[in-house]
Amino acid sequence: MHPFRNSGTLLGMRRFSLVITAVMGVGCGSSKSDLKSLIRCSEDGKCPAGSSCLVDRCIDDGTVEMGETCRYEEQCGAEMTCHDYACAPGCSLVYHVDDCADGFWCKPLVDGDWIGECVHSQCDPSSAEFCATESICVAFAPTVGGCLPYCQYSIASSGAYHDLCEDEGDTINACQSLGTNLAPVCLPAGSIESPTIGQPGCHPVYNPCQPGGTCVDVVCRRLCIPGLPGACAPGETCETMGGRSDIAYCRANAG
């Protein structure tokens, strides 16, 4: 169970505070039950299996209709997600297949956003099917893939990182490995407050590394090019990701 990831914003919190009173009187879900008549959530916000906490009462998952108040994605009906505390069409686990029907994956509505729509597989990563020029097939499931901007990067002799990703407005895109095939793609990079090389807690989508780093086992690692002199610090080896030839990172030597 997870609250919608944008629900912590000031706008979301204001909206939630405004709808609490209305929900208590009007009810929610297809049954339109009054929340006052439902089981109270436990002190830590837990509910019986198949239900979850809204305000302070347990409601059945999957019963909240479009436009009605929610706190968790599972409270909404099929093919909906909880956006700004209201059920709306879409999916929230972007670049994954878990929120979508077979053969579909969750594509962000806007680059860098955590709300998406379920779209049909664009390529088959298990076959010789390729994407258009400057795109790469990212595997989200054995036969489900999406065509995303391919990331090509270089490392200067000074160690400075450079890539061919196109930035969009204030969004700086940089190289991250994505999908089960660890494909190098252009994704929004982290800000100056995001994890940097050697820092833990990263995620290629939800908490990306700063440009020049890629997330490996929740730790930001420096991108490198095998065979390039001085690509990594002493005591490190430039290791390809998943045996690929187009993306590698600096891995500390064992022992």
Q: What is the pTM for the complete model shown? A: 0.72
Answer whether residue 245 is part of any domain.
yes
pLDDT number for residue 100? 85
Domain count, the chain: 2
DSSP assignment of 77-133: -TTEEEETTEEEESBSSTT-STTS-TTEEEEESSTT-S-EEEEE--B-TTTT---ST
* Structural contact between residues 72 and 47, judged by C-beta atoms closer than 8 angstroms: no
Residue ranges in the chain whose pLDDT is less than 70: 1-36, 111-113, 128-129, 255
Answer whether residue 77 is part of any domain.
yes
Q: Which helix (H) or strand (E) holds 10?
A: helix 10-26
Choose the final residue of a domain: 45, 66, 89: 89
Amino acid at 102: D
Among 82, 68, 77, CA closest to 35? 68
Q: What DSSP character marks residue 178?
A: E
Choose the final residue of a domain: 89, 114, 140: 89
Answer whether residue 108 is part of any domain.
no
Shared-domain flag, residues 82 and 155: no
Answer whether residue 202 is part of any domain.
yes
pLDDT number for residue 143? 92
Residue with tokens 């660890």: 182
Query: For 45-78, what is each residue's pLDDT tens digit?
Result: 999 999 999 988 999 999 999 889 999 888 988 8
pLDDT number for residue 21? 42
CA distance 161 to 193: 19
Domain that holds residue 17: 5-89
Answer whether residue 60 is part of any domain.
yes
CA distance 226 to 200: 24
Shared-domain flag, residues 158 and 243: yes
Choose the final residue of a domain: 89, 117, 140: 89
Q: What's the gap between Cα 215 and its chain centre? A: 13
Shared-domain flag, residues 248 and 169: yes
Answer whether residue 121 is part of any domain.
no
Answer whether residue 241 is part of any domain.
yes
Residue with tokens 């305000």: 55
pLDDT number for residue 112? 60
Q: What's the gap between Cα 137 and its chain centre? A: 17
DSSP assignment of 209-230: PPTTEEEETTEEEEEE-TT-TT
pLDDT number for residue 110? 77
Answer whether residue 145 is part of any domain.
no
